[in-house]
Amino acid sequence: MSDEVLYEIDGHVAIITLNRPEKHNAMNPDLIKLLRETFNKANRDRNIRSVVLTGAGDRAFSAGADLIHMATRESEDFGESFWWPEQPRGWAPEFYKPVVAAINGYCYAAAMNLMCEATDIRICADSATFCYAEVLRGFSGAGPALGLLPRQVPYAKAMEWLMMGKVFGSEEAHLAGLINEVVPLDQVKTRALEVAKELAKLAPIAVRAIKESVVNGISMDTPNAVKYASTVGVLTKYTKDAIEGPKAFAEKREPKYEGR
């Protein structure tokens, strides 16, 4: 695998790193393909229970799409990507393991798409900044942030960020609920890994069921979302982990979940 996307394992946690620090971890088609392949690798590995997603260096999570590549692309690229896409839509389709973002710097444009769609809990450096910058370059963007951001923060705040291409900092992102925690830059990856390890201690099937119910339920009306979540929840009661949890409680010990 190319070193433009790094993949490390720490216990039950996979650490995925965008690794183009000299380009502020900008994303070109090759990196995007590698990122999807890396998520698929983590998805197939039953040892992996949670993921940390971050960018290399201390300046950028990702500055978004590689504009130099975009400026030199061929005109037929649009037809190839829109009408006959080689890859499924989305960064991590059908990926229901929890993903913790370590936002260590610029989170711009396509990186906003990545954050909104592929991450669940977000730890942010106090020096990080955000911007949905597509509108500043003359186009609206075609990423999931347009659909997801108004569902993740208040509508008016999402529209301010999206339509104006506003650069905003970690404090504003935190107040709006876009991120969970703000920490000093030198602590962001450590804290994200701590959260991921906390998630990895929990029953993997139950955690997956929660994420799957929420992600799929967002696009449903409320009664069907509740029904879907209830159906998935009933199935988790027939796992070995669902026996281990109450048993460990009764025996006053920490549960040992196996993901079965």
Q: What is the largest CA-CA distance in the chain?
A: 66
Tell me the average pLDDT across 128-155. Answer: 87
CA 206 to the chain's CA centroid? 19
- CA angle 54/105/31 to nearest 5° reads 45
**What is the 3-state secondary structure of 190-246?**
HHHHHHHHHHHCCCHHHHHHHHHHHHHHCCCCHHHHHHHHHHHHHHHCCCHHHHHHH
- pLDDT of residue 110 exceeding 50, the answer is yes
pLDDT score recorded for residue 73: 55
CATH code, residues 204-250: 1.10.12
pTM for the complete prediction? 0.89
The residues spanned by each domain of the chain are 5-200, 204-250
Determine contact, residues 51/12, Cβ cutoff 8 Å: no
Determine contact, residues 188/102, Cβ cutoff 8 Å: yes
CATH code, residues 5-200: 3.90.226.10
The predicted-structure confidence for 79-104, as pLDDT tens digits, reads as follows 555 444 555 555 666 899 999 999 99
- pLDDT of residue 75 exceeding 70, the answer is no
Determine contact, residues 148/91, Cβ cutoff 8 Å: no
